[in-house]
Amino acid sequence: MTAIIADDDVDAHTLSRADELIGLIGRFRGKYEQSLRHLSYIYYSSGVVAPTADESVALFRHFGGLRASLPWANLGDWPTRVDSLEQLSRDVGGADIWVKREDLSSAIYGGNKVRTLEAIMGEACAAGADYIWATGAYGSNHAVATVLHAGRAGLSSGVALFPQPRSIPARENLSAMLSARPDVINVANVVGLPFVMAHIRRRGQRRGQKHYVMAPGAASPAGAFGAMSAAIELADQVEAGTCPAFKRIVLAVGSTCTTAGILAGIHVAALLGIGFGKPGAPLPTVNAVRVTPWPVTSPARIAWLAYKTAQRLSRLLGEPVDISYRSLRNSLQLITDDYGSGYGMVTARGVRAADAFARAGGPPLDIVYSAKSGAALLDLARATSEPILFWATKSSAPLPSATDGQVGDLPGQVRRWLLDRVL
Ligand SMILES: Cc1ncc(COP(=O)(O)O)c(C=O)c1O
């Protein structure tokens, strides 16, 4: 730093005073940025976000009665666009590839989990929670989304994290999480997660606080309501002529929450008779690309969560929702070829797909999830000229990063994972 003012004519005393001054400015800037962040949290948690859904949420447009029974936190910018990927279509030789821009679901942090969190944070607020906890891998997108959006729903946040293969994007995610100052618990091994979740709840009770702890990915019927709404939104876009009635929807499946919600949603759209749900027309097949191991992503488990989600809708509406487990299972095809050697492991096909999307002006793909589904989409698109939809699940919003102080506060094992060199 001294180099910018160093001059042979300046004596050592002046230089050291200048160093002090630069240090002071740096500290002031740090404090200033910190205060700005705090101010924005106070602003967002002071009732700016309504506790019930607004008109932009497709589920409530079609089932207005749900407003009274289903709490919702408005976090995302809906609807997300559906774009034609013309260049990519040409690159793979005449396919008709489209993309649902879920990556743009929020300028704060987008991606598929914003929808999940609208439903879950609504439920947490209604239950009187003070804290919301995400559980997942060190670089979990779901955890980033949770901590960056929690303040907007008036919730404090925490993350219970377990190790994953180290990569630069995963480290950037962890750094982004820390910038929002969540409580952080290290879970040495994923096997211990249920005990840690129970511990967080009990410890909260002892302190007179309510802590809402999500399972990884918030894979539950409540969490799947967000993606169910997304599929109904897509059906509205088809109905409005914005895009064709897709034959296939391709996305990465990790915790199963998003895929199950979409499955339920396309069947609800069919009952409503909108978009691809025209009587007699075949519904789109959901091609879920496995990124986490069996049995987490077994087809039976995904279809079962979709079924439970439809059942929950039925209970909330107080009327039957005629969607069978069998019909949901029939709309699902699991693709396992792009899994590679494990969760978080890079595949060459994924890297090539990310390059192909980038060259064609598509959304950015991440190596853990969407690059693997991108690779599967390219194969499927080569084999058909029917319209096919890529569900862009990875946020494309710029990420904040942690200060040295925030990194310093981390549990030792997590800090080492963050700071050690990526090989
Ligand atoms: C970028 C991205 N794509 C896809 C998924 C899979 O979604 P789900 O866990 O709901 O199956 C995730 C989950 O975190 C994700 O972060």
Condensed to tens digits (0 to 9), the pLDDT of residues 309-364 reads: 999 999 999 999 999 999 999 999 999 999 999 999 999 999 999 999 999 999 99
Dihedral sign, CA of 274, 275, 278, 282? negative
* Of 223, 213, 217, 226, nearest in space to 159 by CA: 213
Query: Rounded distance, CA 181 to CA 35, Å?
Result: 13
Query: Residue 52: what pLDDT?
Result: 75
Within-domain flag for 146 = no
Residue of 393, 394, 396, 399 to test ligand 1 pocket, by largest number of atoms within 8 Å of CB: 393
Q: Which two tokens stand for residue 154?
A: 């008036």
Q: Using CA positions, which residue lies closest to atom 16 of ligand 1?
A: 141
**For the CA of 142, the nearest atom of ligand 1:** 14
Region 247-257: mean pLDDT is: 98
Q: 152 lies in a domain? A: no
Concatenating the DSSP letter of every residue in 333-353 gives: EEE-TT-TTSTT---HHHHHH
Task: Using DSSP, state whether 83 is helix, strand or coil.
Answer: strand
What does the pLDDT look like over 43-64, one tens digit per residue?
A: 444 443 435 788 899 999 999 9
User: Of 227, 161, 168, whose CA–CA distance to 193 is shortest?
Assistant: 161
Q: How many domains does the chain have?
A: 1
pLDDT at 277: 65
Q: Which residue has the tokens 């779901």?
A: 142
- The mean pLDDT value for 110-132 works out to 97
Q: What is the pLDDT of residue 32?
A: 42
pTM over cut 0.85: yes
Domain encompassing residue 309:
4-27+63-112+220-391
pLDDT at residue 10 in the model: 33
Q: Is residue 36 part of a domain?
A: no
| Ligand 1 center to 346 CA (angstroms) | 16
The letter for the amino acid at 98 is W
Given a cut of 50, whether residue 22 has pLDDT beyond it is no
In a domain, 290, yes or no: yes
Sequence length of the chain is 423
Phi, psi of 175 (to 5 degrees): -60, -40
Answer whether residue 191 is part of any domain.
no
Predicted pLDDT of residue 278: 73
Q: In this structure, what CATH number is given to the domain that contains residue 346?
A: 3.40.50.1100
User: Is 260 inside a domain boundary?
Assistant: yes
Quick one: which of 246, 309, 250 has its CA closest to 116? Answer: 309
Q: Pocket of ligand 1, candidates 369, 395, 399: which has the most ligand atoms within 8 Å of its Cβ, to mutate?
A: 369
Atom 4, ligand 1: which residue's CA is nearest? 252
Is pLDDT of 280 > 80? no
Confidence of residue 422 (pLDDT cuts 50, 70, 90): low
User: Within a domain: residue 237?
Assistant: yes
pLDDT score at 27: 46
The pLDDT score that the predictor gives to residue 46 is 44
Contact status, residue 134 vs residue 214, Cβ threshold 8 Å: yes
Residue 268 lies in a domain: yes
Atom of ligand 1 nearest to the CA of 254: 11
E-assigned strand segments in 257-406? 285-290, 332-335, 387-391
Provide the edge-to-edge strand list for the sheet that holds 211-213: 183-186, 156-162, 131-137, 211-213
The pLDDT assigned to 50 comes to 39
Per-chain mean pLDDT for the chain: 89
Instruction: Summarize pLDDT for 138-182 with one digit per residue, the tens.
Output: 999 999 999 999 999 999 999 999 999 999 999 999 999 999 999
Kind of pairing between the strands at 156-162 and 183-186: parallel
**pLDDT confidence of 423, banded at 50, 70, 90?**
low
Report residues whose beta carbon is within 6 angstroms of any ligand 1 atom. 111-113, 141-142, 217, 252-259, 366, 369-370, 393-394
228 closest CA partner among 49, 52, 66, 394: 66
